[in-house]
Amino acid sequence: MRELNENNLNLTRKRGNIEPKSKYFIVTEGDVTEIKYFQGIKANTDYLNINYLIDIRLIKNEIDENGQSHPLLKLKNFKKSIKDNKITYDPKIDKVFFIIDRDPQNFKEEQLDEFFNKCENENYNICLSNPTFELFLLMHDDKIFTLDPKAMLENRKTRKGGKRFLEIKLSDFFNCTKSNLNFEKFKDKIQTAIKNEKFFCEDLKMLKNNLGSNVGLLLEELISKDENSK
């Protein structure tokens, strides 16, 4: 795995008398929707009032890791990249967040338990959406409360191009798809998503079987509470 560095910036932490920033490594299960969303967060750090002591680092698969999206593989590859010095991680001040879907079709409960235990042993954080990340995206609009919770949790495929329920609603709400996400449609609704998430399950262990997400808790942590902190 490697850090996504679109602007060829120097990713080495600067040393000196300035208080060091904490790297927040964002490791996403998918390399499209979630990456585009957090690229938008990273590109709008000032606008969103992201804490100036937090340095968001997005992690992507290496070429030889393409297609390896299962969370257990992501975890294995991330740890290997640290061991191989491809990623500089200081557990004393840095944090790791795995952004994953419950997706019971592809992620068996025993695998999820194994993933939970391994992350806990490494002191890594998990941001889980049940059933998928599109649910969290829909939380950016209050219209989510007009949807049937059972239909959202089941997230069944429909005849409309074989897309699942949440993906269709994402297009209805925001006129974009998960493969062509437009962050500008979400940028001014971050606080709405954080607020709306609290009407669903946010507890990580309970998210295994309940509709909800805890991605909003990560955003709360990223956003500075002090407007004068920059």
Q: What is the pLDDT averaged over residues 26-37?
A: 91
Structural tokens at position 55 = 């340095």
For position 114, what pLDDT does the model report?
95
Q: Give 160's contacts (C-beta < 8 A, 6+ positions apart).
A: 168
Please state the domain count of the chain: 1
Residue 134 lies in a domain: yes
Residue 230 lies in a domain: no
Q: Is 60 helix (H, G, I), strand (E, B) or coil?
A: strand
Q: What is the pLDDT averaged over residues 121-144?
A: 97
Residue 204 lies in a domain: yes
Residue 1 lies in a domain: no
Residue 229 lies in a domain: no
Going by the DSSP 8-state scheme, the letter that residue 97 receives in this structure is: E
Report the mean per-residue pLDDT for the chain.
89
- Residues of the domain holding 215: 20-222
Percent of the chain with pLDDT over 70: 87
Q: Give 49's contacts (C-beta < 8 A, 6+ positions apart).
A: 223, 224, 227, 230
Residue 106 lies in a domain: yes
Residue 209 lies in a domain: yes
Q: What is the pLDDT averaged over residues 130-138?
A: 97
Q: Whole-angstrom Cα distance, residue 205 to residue 198?
A: 15
Residue 6 lies in a domain: no
Q: Whole-angstrom Cα distance, residue 144 to residue 49?
A: 26
pLDDT one-digit tens code per residue, 153-170: 999 988 766 899 999 999
Cβ pair 213, 202 in contact under 8 A: yes
> What is the pTM for the complete model shown?
0.89
Q: Is 38 helix (H, G, I), strand (E, B) or coil?
A: helix
For position 64, what pLDDT does the model report?
63
Burial class (CB in 10 A: 0-12, 13-18, 19+), 68: middle
Among residues 49, 18, 6, which one has the least CA distance to residue 225? Answer: 49
The dihedral built from the CA positions of residue 216, 222, 226 and 227, taken in this order, carries a sign that is negative
Q: Whole-angstrom Cα distance, residue 230 to residue 58?
A: 22
Per-residue pLDDT at 14 exceeds 50:
no
pLDDT one-digit tens code per residue, 79-90: 999 999 999 999
For position 97, what pLDDT does the model report?
98
Q: Does residue 131 have a cis bond before it (omega within 30 degrees)?
A: yes
